[in-house]
Amino acid sequence: MDNDVEDIDLSALSDEELVEQMHDDLYDGLKEEIEEGTHILLDRGWEPYDVLQDALVEGMRIVGIDFRDGILFVPEVLMSANAMKGGMAILRPLLAETGAPTIGKMVIGTVKGDIHDIGKNLVAMMLEGAGFEVINLGINNPVENYMGALEEHKPELLGMSALLTTTMPYMKVVIDTLVEQGIRDDYIVVVGGAPLNEEFGSAIGANAYCRDAAVAVETCKTLISEFRAKA
């Protein structure tokens, strides 16, 4: 990809060129350029959600392909992740700015053994934007962390994220612990992450698998109203 970005005046590019340039900058791990590009698109009247999806998430998808194919390696992908987080930090308050009253509470975290947090943070951001209160436990959470947070914060929803085929089975450990303690039905359990699917979600006893952050918001809204109606 093009590293010669010093000569490029991002504000002189058309929207389409700028988005393409941001994909390149994300690939090259250029945090400041990503932050600048994010501001420019917002100043041009782009919706925060569109900046997130078209410039950042799509850019990260491209990074993922080259990571899979052995063209990019962990240190480079870490730089990309850092650049993505720079853009997300600008969008976060805007996405959360809807002024919607709190419609439910979720404890969310990436499971034990797994340090991927971009997608989980995106889900958290979008839920906050939709009016949920979110307690974000971060990465690499053993079952004790989830249990402690449920006890402390008393949410209606528990969210778990996993990006590795080797860590996704840990979600079942957490759900089984809820069952063993006789509190499974006290919570709505929502799971997500690239290697999961609907079938896996039901096999481990989750209430729902969500493909992406937008689906997570819709699903949580539906499930919480059913949950409240039952209560």
Which span sits near ligand B1M by CB under 6 A: 19-27, 61-69, 129-137, 173-181?
A: 61-69
How buried is residue 207: exposed, middle or buried, by Cβ count under 10 Å (0-12/13-18/19+)?
A: buried
Rounded distance between C-alpha atoms, residue 40 and residue 224, angstroms: 37
Helix, coil or strand: residue 209: strand
Q: Which conformational region is residue 182 in: left (phi greater than 0), alpha (psi within -120 to 50 degrees), or beta?
A: left
- From residue 193, how far is each of 8, 95, 100, 212 by CA, in Å? 35, 21, 26, 8
* Shortest distance (Å) from residue 206 CB to ligand B1M: 9
Q: Where are the alpha helices (DSSP H) in 13-165?
A: 15-27, 31-43, 48-50, 58-68, 74-95, 118-129, 143-153
- Quick one: 148 or 169, whose CB is closer to ligand B1M? 169
Structure tokens at 148: 């402690």
* Shortest distance (Å) from residue 17 CB to ligand B1M: 23
Residue number, nearest CB to ligand B1M? 119
Residue 221's identity, in one-letter code, is K
193 touching ligand B1M, by CB under 6 A: yes
- Binding residue for ligand B1M, selected from 88, 123, 188, 204, defined by CB under 6 A: 123
Q: What does the per-residue mask of binding to ligand B1M show for 130-169, with x meaning CB under 6 A?
A: -----------------------------xxx-xxx----
Which span sits near ligand B1M by CB under 6 A: 17-25, 141-149, 174-182, 190-198?
A: 190-198
63 touching ligand B1M, by CB under 6 A: yes
* Shortest distance (Å) from residue 194 CB to ligand B1M: 4
Q: What does the per-residue mask of binding to ligand B1M show for 16-55, with x meaning CB under 6 A?
A: ----------------------------------------
57 touching ligand B1M, by CB under 6 A: yes
Rounded distance between C-alpha atoms, residue 19 and residue 2, angstroms: 14
Structure tokens at 97: 């700015």
- Binding residue for ligand B1M, selected from 48, 87, 192, 201, defined by CB under 6 A: 192
- From residue 20, how far is each of 6, 41, 46, 59, 179 by CA, in Å? 16, 12, 15, 8, 48
Residue ranges binding ligand B1M (CB under 6 A): 57, 60, 63-64, 67-68, 74, 77-78, 81, 108, 113-120, 122-123, 159-161, 163-165, 190-195, 210, 212-213, 216
